[in-house]
Chain A
Amino acid sequence: MEQIRTIDEINSKISKGKAVVIGVDEFKKICETEGVEKAAERIDVVTCATFSPTCGTGMIMNLGHTNPPIKFKEAYFNNVRAYTGFTSVDAYIGSDQPNEDNEININYAGAHVMEDLLNNKTVHFRGIGFGSECHSYPREEVETYITLNDINEAFFIAHRFCVQKGSGYVNSSSKTLGTYKGIVLPFFGNCVYTGTGELNPLINDIDGEVIGIGTRILLSGAQGYIIGEGTQHDPEKTASSTMLRCRFRDIKPEYFRAVVFENYSSSLYIGLAVPIPILNLKIAKNCAIRDYEIQTVIKDAADQEHWDGEKTVICKVNYHELKSGKIKLPNGKTVVSSSVSSIVMAKKLMRELIQQINDKKFYLTPCLERLPRSPYKSLKPMKITKQNLNGDGLR
């Protein structure tokens, strides 16, 4: 494939304020009216974005040493437990960690702690140490109130985000179901789905040519990097995903919202914008993909025998149909389809990345290593060797 430009040439143009950068939505329209070749010649970079709730996030932080020193055995932020199984005063808080108070439970979880810290609110902290068991760290307990300014380093990690395309859910049962896509109404009452379709960065780089380890990104408004493939990354069977990292302090609160999915869990809304350099015609053609070309499946959320990847498939649809607001199911019923991902916020983030590039604040990096493609070990369910005492393990 003949190269049109290099990343170095694009960065040189950015430094001179001459780079042509547009959103992927606009790029698709140009491709349709002027053709892909002309669009690729004229445009240097297109920005893609997604904004979705994700359970696979957390923050790793260093809280600073105490006098006398302590090595945390347990740590709690506003009564939400953080993981401390490493160095003395480091802690990792996950978005889905529920509150220790069962009455509050998912209504104030790890995601809410992170949001409070980001908004510079004061958070109660309690750390329990090893005490006399540990000679270097004799302190047994510490209790204090902290803000983000009191924390040394804070890095935000998304272990699984920007899933290429999500499936939709309907509900064949007579009960309302709480899922990670939100409430699914009984008797096929509605359809919920995830993903921003043609705006999604990994959809626009379907061959994984430009987005990979080392790609500089905008994660909820903060500059960060793709550090690898996300957990459950399975391009062949389900979808690709990415693992991301950025400095927590740089995140913009407007792109960072704690979520509570009723009867399911807490979660966190974050956004990702990725620049795609138009290096050759193939990359440009991939960016021209439209919603009606992106196929996904509608699954039955009531199928509780299987995990998400293996639930009963009701029908196949494309994102154009899903985004239209109504889909027709094989049983003849037309149901309202709604997303938990926000196209409004994704487009806002896309524009923000364009602005940062135009302001010479954001330069592109080449991908150091591509995300694994084929052959890749397919996802499998957990191997269970011991039967649960209650039989099937269900409540």
Chain B
Amino acid sequence: MIRKKVYNGIIRCVGCGYCVGLCPVEAIIFTEKGIAFAHEKCRYPFCQNCLTKCHVRALEVYRREEVQK
């Protein structure tokens, strides 16, 4: 799946808020400007619902970058 990697990146986030409904701990907040993370609640890497289910593949790189910070 080499192609899949090409389509990752936060730049692809359209701010639909779809991931909000998939988060079991309400760690994703939907704001006027798009999505925001409440990192203290997030169960990553044990839960990766938002990463794997984002249909524009926007969250994979974003979350990894956030974790690295």
Which of A260, A325, A340 is close to B57, meaning CB atoms less than 8 Å apart? Answer: A260
Given A51-B14, A338-B17, also A269-B4 (CB < 8 A): no
Contact of B69 with A by CB under 8 A: no
Contact A344 B32 (CB under 8 A): yes
Interface residues of B in 1-47 (CB under 8 A from A): 1, 3-4, 7, 12, 14-23, 26, 30, 32-34
Given A107-B1, A261-B55, A340-B55, also A345-B21 (CB < 8 A): no
Contact A112 B7 (CB under 8 A): yes
Contact A336 B21 (CB under 8 A): yes
- A292–B16 CA distance with the chains assembled, in angstroms: 20
- A51–B13 CA distance with the chains assembled, in angstroms: 13
- A262–B22 CA distance with the chains assembled, in angstroms: 14
Q: Which of chain B's residues have a CB closer than 8 A to the CB of A343? A: 15
Contact of A213 with B by CB under 8 A: no
Contact B55 A259 (CB under 8 A): yes
Number of residues of chain A lying within 8 A (CB) of chain B: 32
Contact of A108 with B by CB under 8 A: yes
Q: Which of chain A's residues have a CB closer than 8 A to the CB of B15? A: 342-345
Contact of B53 with A by CB under 8 A: yes
Number of residues of chain B lying within 8 A (CB) of chain A: 25
Which of B4, B16, B21, B56 is close to A337, meaning CB atoms less than 8 Å apart? Answer: B21
**Contact code string A248-278 (vs B, CB < 8 Å = 1, else 0):** 0000000001111110000101000000000
Which of B14, B26, B34, B57 has most A Cβ within 10 Å?
B14
Which of A182, A267, A269 is close to B53, meaning CB atoms less than 8 Å apart? Answer: A182
Contact of A158 with B by CB under 8 A: no
Contact A190 B22 (CB under 8 A): yes
Q: Which of chain A's residues have a CB closer than 8 A to the CB of B33? A: 344
Give min CB distance, A197 to chain B, whole Å: 13
- A107–B22 CA distance with the chains assembled, in angstroms: 21
- A192–B7 CA distance with the chains assembled, in angstroms: 23
Q: Which of chain A's residues have a CB closer than 8 A to the CB of B26? A: 336
Contact B1 A53 (CB under 8 A): no
Given A112-B3, A182-B53, A182-B55, also A345-B17 (CB < 8 A): no
Q: Which of chain A's residues have a CB closer than 8 A to the CB of B14? A: 51, 257, 269, 342, 344-345
Which of B3, B12, B16, B23 is close to A108, meaning CB atoms less than 8 Å apart? Answer: B3
- A190–B28 CA distance with the chains assembled, in angstroms: 14
Contact of A191 with B by CB under 8 A: yes
Contact of A384 with B by CB under 8 A: no
Q: Which of chain B's residues have a CB closer than 8 A to the CB of A337? A: 21
Give min CB distance, A110 to chain B, whole Å: 13
Q: Which of chain B's residues have a CB closer than 8 A to the CB of A340? A: 16, 18, 55
- A182–B50 CA distance with the chains assembled, in angstroms: 12
Q: Which of chain B's residues have a CB closer than 8 A to the CB of A338? A: 16-22, 30
- A103–B4 CA distance with the chains assembled, in angstroms: 12
- A191–B17 CA distance with the chains assembled, in angstroms: 12
Q: Which of chain A's residues have a CB closer than 8 A to the CB of B12? A: 257
Contact A262 B55 (CB under 8 A): yes
Contact A269 B18 (CB under 8 A): no
Contact of A199 with B by CB under 8 A: no
- A343–B14 CA distance with the chains assembled, in angstroms: 9
**Contact code string A142-185 (vs B, CB < 8 Å = 1, else 0):** 00000000000000000000000000000000000000001101
Contact B3 A269 (CB under 8 A): no
Contact A191 B55 (CB under 8 A): no
Q: Which of chain B's residues have a CB closer than 8 A to the CB of A262? A: 52-53, 55
Q: Which of chain B's residues have a CB closer than 8 A to the CB of A257? A: 12, 14, 56
**Contact code string A99-123 (vs B, CB < 8 Å = 1, else 0):** 0000110011000100000000000
Give min CB distance, A299 to chain B, whole Å: 16
Given contacts A107-B3, A192-B18, 9 further A-B contacts (CB under 8 A): A112-B3, A325-B20, A325-B30, A336-B21, A338-B17, A338-B30, A339-B16, A342-B14, A345-B14
List the 4 shortest-distance A-B pairs measured between CB atoms, nearest first: A338-B21, A344-B15, A190-B21, A108-B3
